Structure 1
Amino acid sequence: MEKTLLYSSVILLLGVASCKKFLEQPPDNRAVLNSPEKVAQLLGTAYPQANYMAFAESISDNVADKGIGDLERTNIDPFNFRDVANNEEDSPEFYWNACYAAIAAANQALEVCMNAKDPENYQAQKGEALLCRAYAHFMLVTFFSKVYDPVTAGADPGIPYVLKPEKVVFEQYERKTVQYVYEMIEKDLTEGLPLIDDKHYNVPRYHFNKAAAHAFATRFYLFKRQYTKVLEHAAKIFPNNNVAALLRPWNSEYRVLTYNELWARYAKATEAANLLLAETRSLWGRNYIGIRYGLDATKSNEILLAPNVTGGSGVFRYQLYTIGTNNYFLPKVNEYFVRESVNAEIGLPYVMVPLFTTEEVLFNRAEANVLLNNINDVIKDLNDYASTRIYNYNASEHTITAGRLRSFYRTNNVQQASLAAVMDFKRAEFVQEGMRWFDLLRYKVPVVHPTVEGKTLTLRADDPMRVFQIPDVAKLAGIEQNPR
């Protein structure tokens, strides 16, 4: 009996040891984040994989009622200044969820970086994670809270700034204030940017490389109204002030491309103007041409084809195309379809979105210089930009001067005229990409949408509908919705 008991005890101990080893193994094939390389792979998902272009463009003054066209809620509701009754691709709710999914990935990466035995080897990954977390929160507070105003930011409700991985079901969060969110964004931005190391990226344009991080900083400080800092960060992208060489070559290489070739090139990682690209699940690539509320002949003339401050024959060279009835488009939002399998007929649509470009940095710098009253610097940037955009550009004919600015905009205030020129050029550059909405927010510009039925819809500067609604599901986490 003693021998039997001894053998049984040994077998039991062996079984317990084996069971313990089994339980120490991951329950599935998930990756264990135990190296900088694996954390870097996780950070590939720390960028919002959703597209804001549809709802941001549709609520702006870039679109008109064509009377006919494809009917998409992500286009119809923003145009009519209503909450979007859709939670799928291209909706505000889909974008909200994608931003917080990106934040969750960034926080998971930061936790690994912080707890690693050799944290010095994770510095580049930590920097990228901090930038990703800052960017996603910035986009959330921009769309789902009132625009930053130093007078009211301390009272305006912000969005939850999430600093750790979520480990319980229905974690409770509070919105705090826009001021708090901006402080946290700046903290992550300034801590993360010095850690960014481009040598760690196989394709830097798909990650927060140094240039993209500085580009983000120019946008953030423009919203925060710290214009000197905008200039400081822009200088890192144009160190030798070689602006024209880094802009899209519409006047040279682009002019001979077909629209299919333009579609293929516009959002490529090899395009110098693209500083950061993100893959997004989106139908905008197929919808933006034929939707009912979009770019028509009238808006094309207003934004792209009308005379501008360069004078004379100075119109933009953008390759503008038409399809069907009154459908105008620039070939730059290109869909690629991912099939579920090689022989499948179903799958998901994706659009590669340029999150930051050299053109935006140029406009951010020019606007900052306007507001600092550095008018000569503004005029230089406008002329560098015009040299790459104006049809049959000739410096002797198209050079912008202070006198030409005052004359074209019919004002003696050259600062006011300079700002108008920057906004007009920027509007043309980013038409159909949703960027116009950011400028309308910052300057609290009312938006007017006439309809073919004879109605006039107006979005006032103080209208609560300028702030997109926080999804209903967020109420489960204790997040209060925006007033209506």
Structure 2
Amino acid sequence: MNKLKLIYVLIPALFLLACDDFLDETPDNRTELDSKIKIRKLLTSAYPSNTYTLLAELSSDNIVDLGEDNPYTVRMIEQVAYWQNDTESDIDGVKELWQSAYNAIAHANQALDAISKVTDEDVSAEKGEALITRAYNHFVLVNVFCKHYNQTSSSTDLGIPYIEAPETALSPVYQRGNVAEVYKKINADIEAALPLIKDDIYEVKPYHFNKKAAYAFAARFNLYYEKWSKAKEYANVVLGNNPASVLRDWVALGKIPRNSDAVSQAYIKNDANLLSITAYTSAGLLFGAGYYYGSRFNHTRFLSEKETLYAEMPWGNLNIWSYNYMAFSYKASNMDKTLVIKVPYLFEVTDPVSNIGYWRSVINPFTTDECLLVRAEAEIMLNEKAAAMDDLNTWTQAYFKQTSVSQVTTIADIAKFYDTANMPYSTNNAPNQKKKLNPKFSISAGEQESMIHYLLQCRRILTLHEGLRWFDIKRYGIEVPRYQDQGNGYLKVIDVLAVDDNRRAIQLPQDVISAGMEANPR
């Protein structure tokens, strides 16, 4: 396959990865990006090759530390799980995520530069893809490495450099700016991109920001941006007039034999996945059935019973799962995982003789199910409670088995279920699903707060092992205790991530800080 050969100077301060083939020709012998076909090929590299999934999931309240005697861990996992600076080189580490995102941004910017010079073809759709990928990669970076956006402090909270043009200077100096500025630029790129996205330029739509994937991203972005009406508007485009018809068929997936490979492959090939990205990651091992790798820090039976999969819902605590989950609890063998099978473990062989290569998986950043919960949250914040309840019931009826106990709930049911008299707020000694909420935006006590608790619980279950829980923790100011299993059923809190803890902004890679970038405060 012929590769496009370009000359452009990447960003040393941002520690970008360069593609070797891009640098092996002199400028006088390079292939020009002078057609939409060449630009499209370049844009395949505008998607990140690494993922935030493991960084975010390990930082969240979805894991428990099984103890120092458990040998199945690596230093990077330990550091991230306890919100320490990641000093290791790991495919799921901060350095790799930073490099991957900025490398993808560099490709998007190079494509945009080339698009501006094409005069004999319509490259508007290619421009739309370049803009939306640039926005998405910056969105990942700002939400991982910065404090979450809010209307009170984001104008002073440290942001990340927003790169909008190919690099032409050697060793440029970048300022981080602030979170509000980054969000403003992401919004501008999204708004410019949406009218340009065309599905017919893609051979396989889920591998690209097709129209529904782009609008799902726009919906989530505006939810995080506290633009509730726009979040709902964009989610409407994805969901159409009959949301139930576009959700994942959980019942059909549940009928697949309980084989982790078969189930995870069926999960990633489902039409409910709006965007699919193949990434270097060990997530398929940590959250894959029966693998010991990473088992020291995982989603355990304790969490499942107290807070997630087996936790009581408004209709009761029942075995009403349509989908396959798998529990592996062999504490004598250092294994305690309760998993929803969705993250496949793939191995890319680079040397068949030595059988060496890279761990990979397929990540689905946007799905119809999650988009429905984005809309439901926006509706709650807009005080459109009946509409939000309709969306929540649509999701629960699809996700859970229909039994003699109805999964249709009312606003009154939710308010009663989460009333403090029935369910007190979670504490370190008595954990449950109802966490104290400390968002920077206003939530009314009573029905609205109860519906947010229910919404967050539904999303936590739906996106288990995907990392999105971490961003809800940041948005809602949820305190996170890190439990360590001391044996004999006793769990000790080793550390607590407080509401305004600076560690909520994951520290930049050390190489980037050493190159002169301002570090996150600690």
Report the CA distance shift for 1:343/1:380 in structure 2 as closer, same or farther (over 3 A): same
Q: Name the CA distance, whole Å, in 1 between partners of 2:27 and 2:107.
A: 23
CA contact (8 A) 1:387 1:393 kept: no
Residue 384 of structure 2 aligns with which residue?
Answer: 374
Q: Give yes or no for the alignment of 1:310 onto 2:315.
A: yes
The residue type equivalent to 1:285 in the other structure is G
Q: Name the CA distance, whole Å, in 1 between partners of 2:45 and 2:207.
A: 11
Alignment of 1:136-147 (within 5 A): 136-147=137-148
Residue 4 of structure 2 aligns with which residue?
Answer: none
Shift in Å, 1:442: 0.4
Shift in Å, 1:433: 1.2
Among 76, 79, 92, which residue is 2:78 paired with?
76
The residue type equivalent to 2:507 in the other structure is Q
Q: Which runs of 5+ in 1 are unaligned?
A: 1-21
Residue 46 of structure 2 aligns with which residue?
Answer: 46
Residue 434 of structure 1 aligns with which residue?
Answer: 467
- Secondary structure at 1:354 match in 2: strand
Report the CA distance shift for 1:288/1:478 in structure 2 as closer, same or farther (over 3 A): same
Q: Give yes or no for the alignment of 1:91 onto 2:90.
A: no
Q: Name the CA distance, whole Å, in 1 between partners of 2:501 and 2:521.
A: 10
Q: Name the CA distance, whole Å, in 1 between partners of 2:371 and 2:109.
A: 28
- Secondary structure at 1:387 match in 2: helix
Residue 200 of structure 2 aligns with which residue?
Answer: 199
Residue 275 of structure 2 aligns with which residue?
Answer: 276
CA contact (8 A) 1:247 1:359 kept: yes
Q: Name the CA distance, whole Å, in 2 between partners of 1:382 and 1:428.
A: 13
Residue 114 of structure 2 aligns with which residue?
Answer: 112
Alignment of 1:135-174 (within 5 A): 135-174=136-175
CA contact (8 A) 2:86 2:509 kept: no
Shift in Å, 1:50: 0.4
Root mean square deviation of aligned Cα? 2.0
Residue 8 of structure 1 aligns with which residue?
Answer: none
Q: Name the CA distance, whole Å, in 2 between partners of 1:355 and 1:273.
A: 11
Q: Name the CA distance, whole Å, in 2 between partners of 1:230 and 1:406.
A: 25
Q: TM-score, normalised by structure 2?
A: 0.83
Among 390, 408, 418, which residue is 1:409 paired with?
418
CA contact (8 A) 2:278 2:360 kept: yes
- Secondary structure at 1:328 match in 2: strand
Alignment of 1:50-449 (within 5 A): 50-67=50-67, 68=70, 70-118=72-120, 121-240=122-241, 242-259=242-259, 260-268=261-269, 271-289=270-288, 290=292, 291=294, 292-301=296-305, 302-311=307-316, 313=318, 315-323=320-328, 324=330, 325-341=335-351, 343-393=353-403, 397-410=406-419, 413-449=446-482
Report the CA distance shift for 1:69/1:264 in structure 2 as closer, same or farther (over 3 A): farther
Residue 12 of structure 1 aligns with which residue?
Answer: none
Q: Which segment drifts farther, 316-325 or 98-107?
A: 316-325
State the number of aligned residues. 455
Q: Name the CA distance, whole Å, in 1 between partners of 2:110 and 2:26.
A: 22
The residue type equivalent to 1:98 in the other structure is S
Q: Name the CA distance, whole Å, in 1 between partners of 2:278 and 2:32.
A: 24
- Secondary structure at 1:305 match in 2: coil
Shift in Å, 1:317: 3.5
CA contact (8 A) 1:173 1:477 kept: no
Report the CA distance shift for 1:358/1:243 in structure 2 as closer, same or farther (over 3 A): same
Among 495, 498, 501, which residue is 1:457 paired with?
495
Report the CA distance shift for 1:201/1:344 in structure 2 as closer, same or farther (over 3 A): farther
Shift in Å, 1:341: 4.8
Residue 26 of structure 1 aligns with which residue?
Answer: 29
Shift in Å, 1:25: 5.0
Q: Which segment drifts farther, 187-196 or 464-473?
A: 464-473
Q: Name the CA distance, whole Å, in 1 between partners of 2:455 and 2:215.
A: 20
CA contact (8 A) 2:326 2:338 kept: yes
Shift in Å, 1:414: 1.7
- Secondary structure at 1:326 match in 2: strand
Q: Name the CA distance, whole Å, in 1 between partners of 2:381 and 2:27.
A: 60
What fraction of aligned residue pairs are identical, expressed as a percent?
33
Q: Name the CA distance, whole Å, in 1 between partners of 2:50 and 2:482.
A: 26
Shift in Å, 1:51: 1.6
Shift in Å, 1:55: 1.5
Q: Deviations over 1:80-101 (max 9, x none)?
A: 1211222320112211110000
Shift in Å, 1:205: 0.5
Q: Name the CA distance, whole Å, in 1 between partners of 2:184 and 2:129.
A: 18
- Secondary structure at 1:327 match in 2: strand
Shift in Å, 1:253: 3.8
Q: Name the CA distance, whole Å, in 2 between partners of 1:460 and 1:282.
A: 28
Q: Give yes or no for the alignment of 1:474 onto 2:512.
A: yes
The residue type equivalent to 1:398 in the other structure is Q
Shift in Å, 1:311: 3.5
The residue type equivalent to 1:112 in the other structure is A
Report the CA distance shift for 1:156/1:393 in structure 2 as closer, same or farther (over 3 A): same
Q: TM-score, normalised by structure 1?
A: 0.89
Q: Deviations over 1:126-156 (max 9, x none)?
A: 1100000001011111111111011111111
CA contact (8 A) 1:143 1:467 kept: yes
The residue type equivalent to 1:263 in the other structure is S
Q: Deviations over 1:380-436 (max 9, x none)?
A: 111111111223445x72211122112211268221111111110110011111110
CA contact (8 A) 2:155 2:178 kept: yes
CA contact (8 A) 1:448 1:457 kept: yes
- Secondary structure at 2:90 match in 1: coil
Q: Which runs of 5+ in 2 are unaligned?
A: 1-24, 421-444, 487-491
The residue type equivalent to 1:374 in the other structure is E
Q: Deviations over 1:87-132 (max 9, x none)?
A: 32011221111000000000000000012233x5111111100000
- Secondary structure at 1:398 match in 2: coil
The residue type equivalent to 1:94 in the other structure is E
Q: Deviations over 1:136-179 (max 9, x none)?
A: 01111111111101111111111000011123332211111111
